[in-house]
């Protein structure tokens, strides 16, 4: 079996990943390109005794080596030298797409062009003489449609054919004068710095030397000669060299376009433009957007919650089975506790995120695939540009109020690296649902008369600090002076069901594998900290001892006790466990879930009925999104309330809540940041920023309010 490496290259929004999905289905793997936040898709597919390895390069408009996407693309093409470039182009938007094609031809790699979205072109009455196009470009051209699954086998056959007869014909399609200059440059290189000829394809080398964009040091004598040529061209064409090259390329593109593309009719009504008249409407656009976002938010969290509860039940059953098994084997208590709380608890921490992430990824795939996400950015740009962000940050930040973990993963939709980092660092300040349970408990103890106001103030503090952090980072870290915003508004398209589900599944799989290991390991570590020495009193565990030492730093904030410190520590793991940890620490007895023996058949029954319940609740929740929701009043543990009342006063309680709001939300978020930004540096910085912000703001708040409360 022969291995073929095929690199998919094309503009953004041309359906590259949809094409990859259509060819290889669930074989797609998702990862990150090293050192950048750009997503990497790969798939290996066996076809006719060939193992074809597809690498989906990020969508780019040119090979200029300026954006992160362009760097990844050009680096891969020049250094990894794939066997074949598969240039995916949008048949309905050929002029701009072929501009990249013309640049790709300069790389002297075997190439096949997929005229993708062919179905839409046919529908729009666009006729492309692809055989003639193939002759003019000197590379094979195959019409394809990921939606209708047409042209896929022809494409694979052509890839094999090109691989077997490795031939590359360089079209010299610029005007003669320029071609002469390019030859001159090559002669100069072989005279002054011949090594470059081994490193780069000739034509690419000549063009980028002339443009002065080559990413490689050049000797001064060569640079001197190049300067002369640039001057010559400038005086000849009355334009600088970069403009000349761009115009040459567009000249080639337009000539090919006019020779091969016929529009049978000029559509008077373009459905995308009509839809934009509604979705981007000056006054209606934003209300419609807010409505859609609200639906996305509700679906993401409500649709998934019955399954989260169900998974919780399954884990309960599994852990009771495990305990019975361990009992039978006469296992010591410590090991039982380790397995039940450390190991299975860790698995639980990972699994509870799966339903919510899966729904989120479905939402994202729909938003991205339909083209609406760009409209969202367009509408919200005005509000975010002042903080140095673009409109694309809105959705991730908003999701943060539900849960920070999916919110961090939702930053996938932001291409600009700086904006993505900033948004990711802002998300932990968005107060999530898990924090709300702690707030609600404290508020019901200390601030009964104005519950709503206190909780609302916390949300506002979170948002305020997030904006402040973004402004400061922009000013002192990124030092951005001017930013620009030029974004394509792709035509509206209906993403296929298979594409949506596949993309979501591929991303969830990556989460389970990577975040799973990390969160699991941390959960085991936490078990050790809270349980060792085993059987010791609650104030003699490792955690308690560490907390006693650390507590002093919380003194100025009003809650410098080891109990409060230990509670914060558990909040670092997950905000969901803060109240139960506090119960353990303040009340002393473990809030034990009723222990019951579950027989195997009972367990299976429970899991099955639980799953049916989950589906019923799904329908209920779905209805409640569009109807009225009856909120159940939560009941709080009375003994814990009493203990808290004596341990805190209103001022220190409020300060404690502010701290809880602002410091790192949970380990899962920490890991999500690492995975999404592909960097430990930002992960640690995020923790540091959150902790510092929490300390400073709590300090100020405590000292301001202690005289009033």
Partner 1 sequence: MKSLRDLKPGKKGKVAYITGCEDIKQKLYDLGIIPGETVEVLQDAPFGGPIKIKVHDYCLALRKKEASCIMVEEER
Nearer to partner 1, 282 or 681 (CB): 282
Q: Which is closer to partner 1, CB of 485 or CB of 695?
A: 485
Provide the minimum distance between the beta carbon of 246 and partner 1 in the complex, in angstroms, as a whole number. Answer: 4
> CB-based burial of residue 327 (10 Å sphere; 0-12 exposed, 13-18 middle, 19+ buried)?
exposed
Instruction: For the CB of residue 488, give the shortest distance to partner 1 in the complex, in Å.
Output: 6
What would the DSSP string read from start to end of 348-416?
A: HHHHTHHHHHHHHHHHHHHHHHHTHHHHHHHHHHHHHGGGT--GGGHHHHHHTTT-HHHHHHGGGG--S
User: Residue 90 forms beta bridges with which residues?
Assistant: 116
Give the footprint of partner 1 on residues 619-648 (CB under 8 A).
none
- Kindly tell me which residue out of 79, 235, 265, 484 binds partner 1, with binding defined by CB under 8 A: 484
242 binds partner 1 (CB under 8 A): yes
Min dist CB 484 to partner 1, Å, is 5
Question: How many residues belong to the chain?
Answer: 709
- Position of tokens 């066997």? 83
Beta carbon nearer to partner 1, 268 or 486: 486
Q: How far is the CB of 269 from partner 1 (least distance, A)?
A: 14
Q: Please, which of residues 407-436 interact with partner 1 by CB under 8 A?
A: none
Closer to partner 1 by CB, 298 or 488: give it: 488
Q: How far is the CB of 21 from partner 1 (least distance, A)?
A: 23
Sign of CA dihedral 120, 122, 126, 132: positive
Among positions 487, 512, 705, 709, the unique one binding partner 1 when judged by CB under 8 A: 487
What's the CA gap between 543 and 528, in Å, rounded?
A: 9
CB of 142 to partner 1, least distance (A): 21
Q: Which is nearer to partner 1, 75 or 488 (CB)?
A: 488
482 lies in the site for partner 1, by CB under 8 A: yes
**CA 187 to mean position of chain CA atoms:** 46
Question: Could you tell me how many residues of this chain bind partner 1 (CB under 8 A)?
Answer: 41
The interface region with partner 1, picked from 88-96, 178-186, 555-563, 659-667 by CB under 8 A, is 88-96
Nearest CB to partner 1, comparing residues 210 and 360:
210
Q: Which residues contact 171 (CB under 8 A, 6 or more apart)?
A: 105, 136, 137, 138
- Token code pair at residue 695: 């300390």
Q: Does 272 help bind partner 1 (rule: CB under 8 A)? A: yes
CB atoms inside a 10 Å sphere around CB 263 = 11
Interface residue with partner 1 among 170, 215, 221, 243 (CB under 8 A) is 243
DSSP for 163-177, please give it.
HHT--------S-HH
Give 691: exposed, middle or buried? Use CB within 10 Å, 0-12, 13-18, 19+: middle
Residue-wise DSSP of 179-222: HHHHHHHHHHHHHH-THHHHHS-HHHHHHHHHHT--SS---HHH
Rounded least distance, CB 369 to partner 1, Å: 17
Ranges within 103-162 binding partner 1 (CB under 8 A): none
Nearer to partner 1, 91 or 305 (CB): 91
Q: How far is the CB of 482 from partner 1 (least distance, A)?
A: 7
Q: Which of 64, 202, 493, 509 binds partner 1 (CB under 8 A)?
A: 64
Contact call for residue 603 and partner 1 (CB under 8 A):
no
Neighbours of 166 (CB within 10 A): 10
Give whichever of 390 and 690 is closer to partner 1, judged by the CB atom.
Answer: 390
Residues in region 371-400 near partner 1 by CB under 8 A:
374, 377-379, 381-383, 385
- Which one, of 699, 682, 499, lies nearest residue 21 by Cα? 499
How many alpha carbons lie under 13 Å from residue 452 in its C-beta half-sphere? 0
Name the DSSP class of 284.
T
Q: Is 250 in the site for partner 1 (CB under 8 A)?
A: yes
Question: According to CB under 8 A, which residues from 182 to 241 bind partner 1?
Answer: none
Count of CB atoms situated within 10 Å of the CB of 111: 22
Q: Judge contact between 407 and 423, C-beta under 8 A.
A: no
Give the CA angle between residues 691, 463, 680 to the nearest 5°.
40
Closer CB to partner 1, 8 or 261, in the complex:
261
Selected range binding partner 1 among 185-193, 331-339, 483-491, 681-689, rule: CB under 8 A = 483-491
478 close to 387: Cβ distance less than 8 angstroms:
no
Q: Which stretch binds partner 1 (CB under 8 A): 228-236, 392-400, 484-492, 634-642?
A: 484-492
Give, as ranges, the residues between 273 and 292 that touch partner 1 (CB under 8 A): 273, 276-277, 280, 282-283, 285-286
| Cα 475–Cα 480–Cα 485 angle in degrees, nearest 5 | 130
- Rounded CA gap, 392 and 384, in Å? 9
**Exactly one of 459, 485, 518, 695 binds partner 1 (CB under 8 A); which one?**
485
CB of 22 to partner 1, least distance (A): 23
Q: Does residue number 578 form part of the binding site for partner 1 (CB under 8 A)?
A: no
By CB under 8 A, residue 9 contacts partner 1: no
Q: Which of 49, 486, 593, 632 binds partner 1 (CB under 8 A)?
A: 486
254 or 704: CB nearest partner 1: 254
Residue with smaller CB distance to partner 1, 257 or 699: 257
DSSP code of residue 339: I
Structure tokens at 153: 């086998």
Question: Judged by CB under 8 A, does residue 357 bind partner 1?
Answer: no
92 binds partner 1 (CB under 8 A): yes
Member of 342, 369, 491, 495 binding partner 1 (CB under 8 A): 491
CB of 448 to partner 1, least distance (A): 41
Closest contact distance (angstroms) between CB of 72 and partner 1 is: 16
Comparing CA positions, the residue from 388, 384, 432, 380 lying closest to residue 406 is 432
- Is 12 or 650 the residue whose CB approaches partner 1 more closely? 12
Part of the chain binding partner 1 (CB under 8 A), chosen from 18-26, 90-98, 341-349, 600-608: 90-98
Beta bridge partners of 42: 29, 55
Q: Tell whether residue 96 is a contact of partner 1 (CB under 8 A).
A: yes
**What's the rounded Cα separation, in Å, for the pair 644 and 601?**
42
CB of 243 to partner 1, least distance (A): 7
Q: Is 489 in the site for partner 1 (CB under 8 A)?
A: yes
Q: Which stretch binds partner 1 (CB under 8 A): 73-81, 487-495, 648-656, 685-693?
A: 487-495
Spatial separation of the C-alpha atoms in residues 455 and 448, rounded to whole Å: 11
Question: Is residue 490 part of the contact set for partner 1 (CB under 8 A)?
Answer: yes
94 is a site residue for partner 1 (CB under 8 A): yes
Q: How far is the CB of 33 from partner 1 (least distance, A)?
A: 21
Cα(685)–Cα(425) distance, rounded to whole angstroms?
9
Cα dihedral: 290, 295, 300, 305 (round 10): 130
For residue 604, give Cα distances in angstroms to 320, 359, 611. Answer: 12, 26, 11
Pick between residue 282 and residue 596 the one whose CB is nearest to partner 1: 282
CA angle 325, 576, 606 (to 5 degrees): 40
Judged by the rule CB under 8 A, the positions of this chain that interact with partner 1 are: 61-62, 64, 66, 92-96, 99, 242-243, 246-247, 250, 272-273, 276-277, 280, 282-283, 285-286, 374, 377-379, 381-383, 385, 482, 484-491
């Amino acid at each position: 079996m022969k291995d073929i490496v095929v690199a998919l290259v094309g503009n953004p929004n041309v359906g590259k990943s949809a094409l990859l999905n259509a060819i290889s289905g669930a074989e797609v793997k998702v990862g990150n390109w090293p050192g950048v936040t750009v997503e990497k898709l790969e798939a290996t597919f066996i076809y006719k005794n060939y193992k074809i390895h597809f690498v989906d390069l990020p969508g780019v408009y040119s090979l200029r080596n300026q954006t992160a996407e362009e760097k990844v693309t050009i680096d891969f093409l020049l250094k990894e030298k794939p066997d074949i470039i598969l240039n995916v182009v949008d048949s309905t938007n050929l002029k701009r797409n072929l501009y990249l094609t013309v640049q790709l031809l300069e790389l002297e790699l075997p190439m096949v062009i997929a005229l993708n979205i062919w179905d839409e072109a046919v529908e729009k009455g666009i006729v492309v003489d692809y055989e003639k196009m193939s002759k003019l470009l000197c590379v094979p051209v195959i019409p394809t449609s990921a939606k209708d699954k047409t042209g896929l086998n022809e494409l694979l056959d052509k890839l094999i054919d090109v691989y077997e007869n490795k031939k590359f014909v360089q079209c010299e399609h610029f005007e003669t004068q320029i071609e002469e200059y390019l030859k001159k440059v090559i002669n100069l290189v072989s005279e002054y710095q011949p090594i470059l000829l081994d490193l780069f394809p000739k034509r690419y080398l000549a063009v980028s030397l002339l443009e002065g964009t080559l990413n490689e040091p050049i000797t001064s004598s060569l640079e001197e000669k190049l300067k002369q040529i640039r001057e010559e061209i400038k005086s000849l064409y009355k334009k600088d060299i970069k403009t000349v090259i761009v115009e040459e390329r567009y000249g080639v593109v337009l000539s090919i376009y006019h020779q091969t593309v016929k529009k049978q009719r000029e559509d008077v009504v373009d459905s995308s433009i009509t839809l934009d008249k509604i979705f981007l409407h000056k006054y209606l656009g934003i209300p419609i957007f807010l409505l859609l976002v609200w639906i996305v938010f509700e679906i993401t969290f409500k649709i998934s919650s019955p399954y989260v509860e169900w998974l919780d039940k399954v884990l309960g059953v599994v852990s009771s089975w495990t305990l019975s098994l361990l009992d039978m084997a006469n296992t010591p208590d410590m090991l039982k506790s380790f397995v039940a709380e450390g190991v299975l608890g860790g698995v639980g921490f990972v699994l509870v995120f799966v339903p919510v992430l899966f729904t989120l990824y479905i939402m994202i795939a729909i938003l991205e695939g339909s083209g609406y996400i760009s409209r969202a950015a367009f509408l919200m740009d005005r509000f975010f540009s002042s903080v140095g962000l673009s409109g694309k940050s809105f959705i991730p930040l908003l999701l943060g109020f539900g849960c920070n973990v999916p919110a961090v993963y939702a930053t996938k939709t932001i291409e600009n690296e700086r904006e993505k980092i900033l948004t990711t660092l802002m998300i932990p300040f968005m107060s999530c649902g898990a924090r709300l349970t702690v707030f609600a408990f404290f508020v019901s103890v200390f601030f009964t008369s104005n519950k709503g106001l206190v909780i609302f103030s916390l949300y506002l503090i979170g948002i305020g600090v997030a904006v402040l952090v973004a402004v400061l980072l922009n000013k002192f870290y990124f030092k951005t002076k001017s930013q620009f915003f030029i974004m394509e508004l792709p035509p509206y398209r209906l993403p296929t069901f298979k594409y949506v589900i596949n993309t979501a599944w591929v991303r969830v799989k990556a989460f389970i594998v990577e975040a799973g290991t990390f969160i699991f390991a941390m959960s085991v570590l936490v078990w050790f900290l809270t349980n060792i020495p085993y059987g010791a009193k609650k104030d003699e565990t490792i955690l308690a001892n560490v907390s006693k030492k650390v507590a002093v730093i919380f003194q100025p904030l009003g809650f410098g006790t080891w109990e409060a410190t230990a509670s914060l520590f558990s909040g670092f793991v997950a905000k969901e466990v803060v109240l139960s940890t506090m119960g353990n620490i303040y009340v002393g007895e473990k809030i034990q879930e009723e222990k019951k023996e579950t027989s195997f058949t009972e367990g299976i029954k429970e899991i099955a009925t639980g799953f049916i319940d989950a589906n019923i609740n799904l329908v209920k929740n779905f209805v409640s999104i569009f109807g009225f929701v009856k909120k159940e009043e939560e009941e709080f543990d009375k003994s814990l309330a009493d203990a808290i009342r004596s341990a805190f006063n209103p001022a220190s309680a409020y300060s404690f809540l502010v701290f809880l709001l602002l410091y790192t939300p949970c380990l899962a978020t920490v890991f999500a940041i690492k995975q999404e930004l592909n960097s430990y540096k930002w992960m640690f910085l995020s923790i540091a920023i959150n902790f510092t912000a929490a300390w400073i703001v709590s300090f100020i708040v405590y000292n301001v309010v202690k005289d009033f409360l």
